[in-house]
Amino acid sequence: MNRRTFLNWGTAGIAALCAGVAVSLAAVVRFLTPSVFYEPPQMFKIGNAADFSFGPPTFLAEEKIFVFRDREKGFAIASAVCTHLGCTVGYFQTDGRFHCPCHGSVFGADGKVEHGPAPRPLEWFEVTLARDGQLSVDKDRVVPAAYRLMV
């Protein structure tokens, strides 16, 4: 066999090998991407509309959300996670605002930053009516503060 054929076959072999390695690397990235999450789901049901009272929002500690219910406007879900560094904010009935315990950020009732280091307003999540009549919240879908679900 002469040198040229040797090198040609060799190069072709190395090319095939590189393709194989490329596929394997892609597969490894996919392998490392989690297909299930060992944490509470992003989309969950919070119960029937009747379970929630009008007036000050209901805080769901595990889900880290506030459920607002208004007689005229309907339901809205606010995130309880401060946009600054992720602490859980509290709702103060005395002034109708959200206060973050970590660095003193204050958010208005509509989620807008009124004070402190928080860079963005609180997030609002989509809430829909599931077919079994329960309210379903999807944390993956952020909606404008004006979003309301009328039940």
Partner 1 sequence: MPQLFFALSLIALALMLAVVWQASAPAWKTYQREFHRLEAVGEPNALTKNAMLTTPLDIRQVLLPGLQRVDRCTTCHLGVEDPTMRNAPQPFTFHANLAPHLPARFGCTVCHGGQGLATDQQNAHGKVEFWQEPLLPREYIRASCGRCHKEGEVPGVPELAEGRRLFETQGCRGCHKLNGVGGSIGPDLTEEGAVRRFPEWLARHFLDPNAVSKSSPMPNFHFTKEQARALTFYMLSLTSEQMGTYYSSVRLIPSAGYGRQLFVEKNCIACHTIGGVGSKSGSDLLGVTKQHSSGWLDEQLVNPQLVYPGSSMPEYDLETNARKAIVTFMASATAEDARSILAGRAKPLTAQEAAIEAGKQNFARFGCVGCHGIQLQGGVPNPNSQGGEVPSLLHASDDYTKQEVIKIIQNGKAPPVENSKKPAPPLYMPSWKNVLSEEDINRVADYLWSLQKKRDAW
Partner 2 sequence: MNPIRDAWQSIFRRDPLSTDKGKSELVFLNVWLHIHPAKVKKENLKVKHTFYLGFITFYLFLILVTTGVALMFYYRPHPPQAYQDMKDLEYVVYLGTFLRNMHRWAAHGMVICVFLHMCRVFYTGSYKRPRQFNWVIGVFLFLLTLGLSFTGYLLPWDQLAFWAITVGTNIGSYAPLVGGRIRELLLGGHSVGESALLRFYVLHVAVLPSVMILLTMVHFWRVRKDGGLSRPVWKLKAESAAKVVTIGAPAEPAFRVVPASKDKTYGLMEVVTGKPIFETVSAEEEEDTVFSYPYAFFREAIALVATVISVMAVSLFWNAPLEEMANPVKTPNPAKAPWYFLGLQELVSHSALLGGVVVPALAVLALVAIPYLDPNPSRRPADRKWAIRAFAAFAIVNVVLIIIGTLFRGPGWALVPPWVHISGAE
**Residues facing residue 143 across a β-bridge:** 124
31 part of the interface to partner 2, by CB under 8 A: yes
Site for partner 1 in 12-51 (CB under 8 A): 12-17, 19-20, 23-24, 27, 35-36, 38, 40-41, 44-45
Name the minimum Å distance from CB 112 to partner 1.
28
If contact means CB under 5 to 8 A according to the sort of partner, which of partner 1, partner 2, none does residue 44 touch?
partner 1
The backbone region for 64, taken as left when phi is positive above 0, alpha when psi lies in -120 to 50, beta otherwise, is left
Full DSSP string of the chain: --HHHHHHHHHHHHHHHHHHHHHHHHHHHHHHS-SS-SS--SEEEEEEGGGS-SSSPEEETTTTEEEEEETTTEEEEEE-B-TTT-PBPEEETTTTEEE-TTT--EE-TTS-EEESS--SPPPEEEEEE-TTSEEEEEEEEEE-TT--B--
By CB under 8 A, which span of 6-14, 51-59, 82-90, 142-150 interacts with partner 1?
6-14
36 is a site residue for partner 2 (CB under 8 A):
yes
Instruction: Assess 10 for contact with partner 2 (CB under 8 A).
Output: yes
Nearest distance from C-beta of residue 100 to partner 1, angstroms: 28
Q: Which is nearer to partner 1, 71 or 131 (CB)?
A: 131
| Contact flag: residue 12 with partner 2 (CB under 8 A) | no
The least distance separating partner 1 from the CB of residue 6, rounded to whole angstroms, comes to 5
Indicate which single residue of 5, 33, 93, 94 sits in contact with partner 2 (rule: CB under 8 A). Answer: 33
Minimum distance, C-beta of residue 136 to partner 1, in the bound complex (Å): 10
Cα separation of 76 and 102, whole Å?
25
